Structure 1
Amino acid sequence: MSTTAAQTDLHYRQLHEISDLIRARQLSSREVTESMLARIETSDPKLNAYVTIMSESALAEADRADELLARGDWLGDLHGVPVAVKDLADTHDAPTGAGTTIHADHRPDSDATVVARLRRAGAVILGKLRLTEGAFTGHHPDLPTPVNPWDADTWPGVSSSGSGVATAAGLCFGSLGSDTGGSIRLPSSANGVTGLKPTWGRVSRHGVFPLAPSLDHIGPMTRSARDAAIVLEAIAGRDPLDPTSALEPVPRYSQRLHLDQAPVVGFDRELAAAHFDDATNAMLDTTIETILGLGWRVLDVRTPDFAEAAQDWTALCGIETAAVHAETYPARKDEYGPDLSGLIDIGRGHTAMDYHDLLESRRAFTGRMRSLMADIDLLLLPGIGVGSPTKTQMESLGSDPELFAAVTVPTAPIDSCGMPSITMPAGFTDRGTPLAAQFVSGDFREELLLAAGHSFQQSTDFHTRHPNASAP
């Protein structure tokens, strides 16, 4: 590859910048892809972000992108850009193990809809990214764990940890994650990247290994709101193969990153005081100062009972997960790790009446959230309620009720009601690890979230900072 100014710190460029360089023929897709594969080869043995590196197919896709561009055919902003996908989305040319040992050798016959749409948009798929077992909280004890590139002792997040690590460490220009209780937002927060959890049904789940189908969301993890808009635009929309996918048309998110008027932001100070630690609340105060400086309005609000909704989430998730794994659990229980098997046991211990009561509580919570969002544009929450927790802290996640609440209260209830949210870097701890703010909006208001996120990032530089190249 020739040495040009365009290639300085190439791996940390934002997706839209790489897109512009490829479209302008300043770089070829093959050059960019070769550069990223070389970086993966050098850095990923320390970071464990990838399960499968798809070098051969990635280079073939890059060559195809270059051939199309040479003919004057440009497929859009993802044309020739190397990205990666969480290893629960089916790929016809690589295994999809979903973080398990049971399914480690599963080779699908076709791509998940989100993968097919990325490829149709011209993206180059670098490989498959690690996740927790079955997309729950813990990695299978026999499999490697991704390492936070900011600090090896810092928690990398839960399920989409590989996606967060790879995006933050410059091992891809964007990735796909999934979010059932916070697994786009928590690793985005922990690794200092931007995560967009769409409205439930906004993005097809066809060909994606489920954790809990009525709670599962698929979305982008990128280095900016602008990049998230590009990826969401490519993967969103109705899918005949997923009857639960939404019928609403997909806006040109990437072309509408402006706010028509200053949004009204709700903030629940009592919720923050009860559940979030000092570092998190200090970050939220700074975020409020920033958005007030942008001319946005901030209102004190009272949210529905997030702590109760988070507790209900565990039972709901367990019941649905037990159904998903009915063919292999308990028949092959010995092949499961303790976290996923524990969740399934919780689910199997509930009755039909319990499930009915949980659904009634969920519907009531969703109704109260919709009433709240009718009066505001955005709800401000942290991405994690504990400021950049260490791996040691998180070892007690399942046994410490206060810690569990702090981690799940800002995220799990938003999956229960299915509303969209965006999580963005919004500060750093004293040890230099990322903190994140989250904006929630009403159903199918991703356009507002992305525009608000872009406006916030135009006024801050947290999203432009990167982990030390020598870490961990």
Structure 2
Amino acid sequence: MADDELWSAPFTTLSPQIQSGALSPIDLTELMMERIARHDAGLHSYITVASDHARERARKADAEIRAGRYRGPLHGIPMAVKDVFYTTEIKTGLGSSIYDDWQAPYESTATQRLNDAGAVMLGKLTATEGVYAQHHPTITEPINPFGAAHWTGNSSSGSGVAVTSGLAYATLGSDTGGSIRLPSSCCGLVGIKPTWGRVSRHGVMALAESLDHVGPMARSARDAAVLLGLIAGADPADPTASPLPVPDYLDGIEDGIVGLTIGIDWAFLRARANDEVLASIEGVVKTLEGLGARFVAVEFPNPDAILYGWHTQCAVEAAIAHRDTFPSRRAEYGPRLAALLDRGAEITGLELGDALKSRRAFNGGVALMFAEIDLFLVPALPVAGPTLEYMASLGPDPDGILAVGPFNAPFDVCGYPTITTPCGATSKGIPMALQLVGKPFAEALLCRAAHAYQSATSWHNRRPTL
């Protein structure tokens, strides 16, 4: 396989070659290192490149595999993670200058599970400050390789850029209001926001703990399914991690979607999405119907109250997460995160109580809607390929952040799982994406539906020209 095919391949197509010895983890790692050196100065996806560590892990993986100790499909695969996961052998910066000299006291559960699976960790990927909406002033914002004038999606911005550009085969992100799905959409990747609690958050920087999710970002539904299966499951270090057994997410992924019932609320979509996005979703419906799915009209609970309630809860919980350093080190914070933390300190108990009341009512409405359907279809973004100029025009929060998150934040609020996969491109070549939502712990079904869509389309195979 030529290098130009090798760097862009889903890792699950390479794993059998690694297992057989036809492909070496050492060669794959050197390919990634060469591409990082050649391209990332213009993309800024990495905040830390751990060359020596990666080469050591690649040599270890190669030796183990040659000795017949193959650990599974991630063994020897070079990847990286968002710089909000604690890693003891690679610097953890948490998107802020405050942590320039900080050493993570332990390994996050998610990255430990990747290490145990034999992954080769290349480094840490650029993230927004405090996993909120803006990069710290001392950190250079990543560039969307499909178009420099366009948004990468936050807060897992470096993650989206690195994986689509062939600077890592996969990554992990975190999602509080869309931070896995937004960069996956903007960069042409598959992202899974699992059910809340499906993946341990131990050792992952918190934005708002009752809204935070950890999940994979990858090049195919199969890749994402493998990653999710490796990181999901109970964790004694995180009492909120679900003890439910983790299924094999590849088992049945080829079974198709004949007879599946998918809900859609066109009124909800038309009120919030632009014409280009709506046209792409119409195409998705035709494709999925052609694969045997049945669409039914449903009424999605009005999310307006909980969208603002999301910001209220996020502000309060973020203020709790940062109380050791804010406001005592206010001067070291960027303006947008500081404004969120100030707001969190000002919110009254009555305001928070109203937000929680709206959240409970909304969650009940979502559960009622899902009594009639297997999955729910929405776009990943209301705007096709948003530009940086558009993003700058949105104004202060909460209106600014919620303008791009009406199809994302509601599913952090209710904790239902979603999968995002590319479904088109704008006239300027910027990826567009669909989002399927499932019932709690229906990740296997989501992977199967996304894989069926990918089997009938090729949008997920698009890669930027660097």
TM-score class, shorter-chain normalisation, is: over 0.9
- What residue number does 1:76 align with? 72
Letter in 2 for 1:283: S
| Gap runs ≥5 in structure 1 | none
Deviation per CA, 1:110-158, whole angstroms, max 9, x where unpaired? 2100000001011111110000000001111121101001011110001
- What residue number does 1:412 align with? 409
- What residue number does 2:278 align with? 281
Alignment pair present for 1:23 and 2:22: no
Letter in 1 for 2:417: P
Deviation of the 1:263 alpha carbon: 1.4
Letter in 1 for 2:352: Y
Query: Is the 2:305–2:358 contact (alpha carbons within 8 Å) kept by the matching residues of 1?
Result: no
TM, length-normalised to structure 1: 0.96
Q: Which of the residues 51, 56, 77 maps onto 1:55?
A: 51
- What residue number does 2:266 align with? 269
Q: Which of the residues 19, 32, 36 maps onto 1:36?
A: 32
Separation of aligned partners in 1, 2:231 and 2:399: 37
Deviation of the 1:93 alpha carbon: 0.8
Deviation of the 1:255 alpha carbon: 2.8
Q: Which of the residues 217, 221, 230 maps onto 1:221?
A: 217
Deviation of the 1:399 alpha carbon: 3.8
Deviation of the 1:404 alpha carbon: 4.8
Alignment pair present for 1:251 and 2:216: no
Q: Which of the residues 410, 433, 445 maps onto 2:442?
A: 445
Deviates more, 1:14-23 or 1:396-405: 396-405
Alignment pair present for 1:358 and 2:359: no
Query: Is the 1:49–1:161 contact (alpha carbons within 8 Å) kept by the matching residues of 2?
Result: yes
Alignment pair present for 1:116 and 2:86: no
- What residue number does 2:86 align with? 90
Deviation per CA, 1:173-213, whole angstroms, max 9, x where unpaired? 10000000000000000111100000000000001110111
Separation of aligned partners in 2, 1:20 and 1:339: 46
Alignment pair present for 1:345 and 2:342: yes
For 2:404, what is the secondary structure of its paired residue? helix
Deviation per CA, 1:296-343, whole angstroms, max 9, x where unpaired? 011111101123221211111011001111111111111111111111
Letter in 2 for 1:365: F
Alignment pair present for 1:435 and 2:432: yes
Deviation per CA, 1:442-467, whole angstroms, max 9, x where unpaired? 10000000000000100000001111
Aligned-residue RMSD, C-alpha: 1.3
Deviates more, 1:41-50 or 1:352-361: 352-361
Separation of aligned partners in 2, 1:144 and 1:42: 17
Query: Is the 2:257–2:291 contact (alpha carbons within 8 Å) kept by the matching residues of 1?
Result: no
| Gap runs ≥5 in structure 2 | none
Q: How many residues align?
A: 465
- What residue number does 2:375 align with? 378
Letter in 2 for 1:79: H
Deviation per CA, 1:409-437, whole angstroms, max 9, x where unpaired? 10001000000000000000011110000
- What residue number does 2:454 align with? 457
- What residue number does 2:136 align with? 140
Letter in 2 for 1:324: A
Deviation of the 1:22 alpha carbon: 0.9
- What residue number does 2:180 align with? 184
TM, length-normalised to structure 2: 0.97
Separation of aligned partners in 2, 1:337 and 1:18: 41
Separation of aligned partners in 1, 2:116 and 2:396: 45
Query: Is the 1:192–1:436 contact (alpha carbons within 8 Å) kept by the matching residues of 2?
Result: yes
Letter in 2 for 1:422: I
Deviation of the 1:256 alpha carbon: 2.6
Separation of aligned partners in 1, 2:106 and 2:14: 28
- What residue number does 2:422 align with? 425
